[in-house]
Amino acid sequence: MTDSAKPLAANMAANTHADCIFCRIVRGEIPARKVYEDDELLAFHDISPVAPMHLLVIPKQHLSTLYDASEEHHHALGSMLMLAGRIAREQGAAEGFRSIINTGRVGGQEVYHLHLHLIAGPQHLGPMIVPTQQAPKHNAPHQ
């Protein structure tokens, strides 16, 4: 059977990384408080919540960062955004939530398996980024 003829779930399961903590959650080797699962996505509670609701939505297929996204991830990435509102609402966030994908060192990414944070109050979450220093006037990354 060719790869493309295999069932979707089998392809997803094959593309996991042995030592990746979120791949280990996908494979059931590490427990997680799951709130949603289908063939391509998994959503679960963050182990160190920064707000009353803090969920992570991940593709089951390993993908390190947004830098590494390509056509093969198109459907899963679209599904993550499409399902975010439904998952957040089902978990009690009826009046809004924040969605964040951290990328790389500058983005503060700690786990290198792409994940969408879904974070909610009930109170307003405050400013998106709290400045820690005065930004230079011309702050383009390449300068």
42 φ/ψ angles, rounded to the nearest 5 degrees: -140, 140
C-beta of 99 vs 102, nearer to ligand 5GP: 102
Place of tokens 């799951």: 34
* 19 touches ligand 5GP by CB under 6 A: no
Q: Which H, E and C letters describe 60-109, residue by residue?
A: CCCCCCHHHCCHHHHHHHHHHHHHHHHHHHHCCCCCCCEEECCCHHHHCC
DSSP designation for 141: T
x-or-dash pattern for Zn ion, window 21-60, by CB under 5 A? -xx-------------------------------------
Member of 32, 41, 55, 83 binding ligand 5GP (CB under 6 A):
32
Which positions touch ligand 5GP (CB under 6 A)?
21, 30, 32, 44-48, 56, 102, 108-111
